[in-house]
Amino acid sequence: MAIISDPSNLVGAEQKETSDYFGGSLILDLYYKGFFIESNRHRLNYQLQSSDFGYELVSEDTYDIDLLARSYINPFDENNAGVIFEELNEELEGIEPRDAYLLQGVRYTGYRNNDVYWFSVGVDILDGVHHGWVLDGFYTSTYHLRNWDLQLGAGATLFSANMNQYYFGIEQGESSDSRPIYTPSAGYRGEFEISGRYPVNEHWLLTTGLTLSHYSKSIDDSPITARQNVLRYVLSVSYVF
């Protein structure tokens, strides 16, 4: 259960009602003979995103190599501009739905003392909707302060032109006087994150933190994006079983 401040980078996607700031999710991590469904618990926003699917190729004390299938951008349409919003967005009215497709690729995860870092590449092979690719990397360090686990992290995600076109481009059928045709080039999302986790007891976990996302000009120039910098805040209580 979480209190979430998530302004989104899409036009017209504003949290208006008190209920827009509350969310809930069930997070499951499953492993069987190398296959897994897992959430990325090294990131603050794992509570808001879908799980990763994959197969463990190599598992050592200092690194893992996995085959991976995951979605890197949340889906949206004219009625849903993010995780929270569920009503017609007049500024997005008339756009085609942008679905969440699982890109297939490889991930390398390294472990060093209290640090975790990973690099992954994903390509739209099976669905073939946009034939785009993604390069994703992140580094996070954990510091212990009494019963708190404090994490600092930074990373970047590079999106190909084809993927940016699918999510942020504007086709002829979607265009209007206020929403001209737009064809973006490749772009990126850079992120900085700080979070803290406090175990209340054996089963209850308190998590808080913020994520600052910066989008490249090719994404920010899209007629359906509203801001280049997005600051998200989460305060959550989890029951672990």
Give 53-83 pLDDT, tens digit per residue: 999 999 999 999 999 999 999 888 988 765 5
For residue 235, the cross-strand partners are: 3, 208
Say if residue 186's pLDDT is above 60. Answer: yes
Distance CA 45, CA 163 (A): 21
What pLDDT score was predicted for residue 153? Answer: 96
Contact between 193 and 154 under an 8 Å Cβ cutoff? The reply is yes
CA angle in degrees (0–180, nearest 5) for 166-132-175: 15
E-strand stretches of 17-89:
22-23, 30-32, 35-38, 52-59, 63-70
pLDDT at 166 over 70: yes
Does the model's pTM come out above 0.75?
Answer: yes
Q: Which tokens belong to 138? A: 């992140």
pLDDT of residue 30: 93
Residue 135: closest CA among 205, 49, 60, 68: 68
- Is it the case that residue 42 has pLDDT exceeding 80? no
Distance between CA 198 and CA 204 in Å, rounded?
Answer: 9
Instruction: Indicate if the pLDDT at residue 115 is higher than 90.
Output: yes
Distance between CA atoms of residues 186 and 158, nearest Å: 8
Which residue, among 107, 105, 230, 224, has the nearest Cα to 166 in the 3D structure?
224
Tokens of 182: 């737009």
Please give the torsion angle defined by the CA atoms of residues 68, 73, 76 and 81, in that order, rounded to the nearest 10 degrees. Answer: 140
pLDDT band at residue 5 under the 50/70/90 scheme: confident
Mean pLDDT of 132-153: 95
CA dist list (Å): 96 to 70, 170, 198, 218: 22, 9, 42, 20
**154 vs 75, higher pLDDT:** 154
CA dist 53 → 34, 42, 67, 105, 234 (Å): 11, 16, 8, 11, 24
| Cα distance between residue 229 and residue 222, in whole Å | 14
Residues of the chain with pLDDT > 90, as a percent, come to 67
Is the model's pLDDT at 123 over the cut of 80?
Answer: yes
